[in-house]
Amino acid sequence: MRIPQWAAADPLRAVLAAIAVITVFSGAVQIPFGGSILSLLGVEPTATARQLFGTVGMFMIVVGGLLLHTLLRPFPAREVLLWSAVQKAGAFAAVGIGVLAAVFSPLALLVAFFDLATAALCFAYWRRPVTP
């Protein structure tokens, strides 16, 4: 398998593209398998919880897809990087609050800290000087 030239030249961009793919995939998995995932996270998979979890999954597909789309362009849109970072930081906060409120088990912190790390990487990429 050949690594795209831009990925070899810019490892941070390649890591963010991989995270974007993971975000799309995990969002897509949340929709049909939300009940099982919620049970793993210590949440009773009620119809309401499954619906909300599936809705979050849909937004993960959209935000992850948007991030991937811009990273595959010759010059990624800085606004997309900024708002992706904000979304990931917000997801970290929301899941962290859910754990503190005993809505989710502490296992959910693995997801929260992955989102926090992704937010930091997006912010780092966003802050880089633009080089057209």
Could you tell me if residue 106 is inside a domain? Answer: yes
Residue 3 has pLDDT above 80, yes or no: no
Q: Using DSSP, state whether 56 is helix, strand or coil.
A: helix
Could you tell me if residue 120 is inside a domain? Answer: yes
How far is residue 32 from each of residues 12, 42, 64, 117, measured CA to CA in Å? Answer: 31, 18, 18, 26
Domain count, the chain: 1
Q: What is the pLDDT of residue 131?
A: 66
Could you tell me if residue 97 is inside a domain? Answer: yes
Could you tell me if residue 131 is inside a domain? Answer: no
pLDDT tens sequence across 78-116: 999 999 999 999 999 999 999 999 999 999 999 999 999
- Which structural domain, as residue segments, surrounds residue 32? 7-125
